[in-house]
Structure 1
């Protein structure tokens, strides 16, 4: 009796193992434009954050910047989902007050200047459903050219005298977006 119980138990365990492997979860490949985040202050020990941005990082891979972020067209400011920016305190973009909260960051790239757009929509993929009537603030900022080259689109916050600057960089293009308290 003990021998048949042991065989039955082992048989059941083997069948369960087979069924678990047969139903194993299939995971997708890694995203070619991985998600990233930047915040200010960027010290992880400092919990008093002013701003945070979550975005995906497209790569040039031999393509031109204007091919991936076309001049004169609303761009999601990254890849995949539109960039999501959060302010943990009220801020100003130019003369427009932005209340603390989470928004979408769009841009309209240009050769010499970019238009920065803070929009009420959230959880948006791309810029396909962009609606200008949901804009909270807009500001045009100049483009500068750097000596160093960035393969991946990148964003970083830096301190300013009265707020923060969101710096965008890709290829040799640089854009500085001032947010003031």
Structure 2
């Protein structure tokens, strides 16, 4: 009886139509996160953003127009969380979570921290909620950056926030407030 039951189970399993999962609706600009920690391993800053690809397109001046507020990535506006008060562009910014927007130009970008959160793109951007606006020189990347990228680079008493895509990047120092 056990042999017949086992044989029946094997044939049943073999007759099951096994199909691969279909993940065709995956986001074309996947979400990513970058985080930097203090020497004691506590978090210093975190950024959550979506990463569009170049895909042979001209980015700055075309896909991302010059002189207009950009969500700094794709989908939702990029979110920057700082865990302790930090000095950015000479201004002390309180610990908290902010939307990070930029205004790209050929030679410099304006980096914006805005108090509004959970924004889709820059469609409802409200400059009256800006906490910070600073300029950062636009630099030429050593190699093309296919996927839009944000990273942190440790520096003394803080971090550089690096934002880059195509052939351009900016670097913004974030210093621990004293």
Q: Is the 8 A contact 1:93 1:138 kept in 2?
A: no
- Checking the alignment, whether the CA contact within 8 Å between 2:38 and 2:44 is kept in structure 1 is no
Count of aligned residue pairs for this structure pair = 154
Q: More helix by proportion, 1 or 2?
A: 1
Once the two structures are TM-superposed, the CA of residue 28 in structure 1 deviates from its matched residue by: 6.7
Comparing 121-130 and 90-99, the one that deviates more:
90-99
- SS of the residue 2:33 aligns to: strand
TM superposition score normalised by structure 2: 0.82
Secondary structure, counterpart of 2:136 in structure 1: strand
| Residues 1:56 and 2:34 aligned together | no
1:39 alignment counterpart: 35
> After alignment, is 113-122 or 27-36 more displaced?
27-36
Unaligned runs of 5+ in 1: 1-25
Greater mean deviation of Cα atoms: 47-56 or 63-72: 63-72
Shift in Å, 1:68 = 2.5
SS at match of 1:50: strand
Aligned residue number for residue 164 of structure 2: 169
Residue 108 of structure 1: aligned partner: 103
Aligned residue in 2 for 1:98: 93
Cα drift, residue 41 of structure 1 = 2.5
RMSD: 1.8
Residue 30 of structure 1: which of 15, 23, 26 is its match?
26
Quick one: distance in 1 between partners of 2:167 and 2:23? Answer: 35
Do the aligned partners of 1:150 and 1:170 also contact (CA within 8 Å) in 2?
yes
Mapped to 2, the partners of 1:52 and 1:42 lie a distance apart of: 12
1:65 aligned to 2:64?
Answer: no
Structure-1-length-normalised TM-score:
0.80
Runs of 4 or more above 3 Å deviation = none
Task: After TM superposition, list the pairs within 5 Å mapping 1:104-143 onto structure 2.
Answer: 104-143=99-138
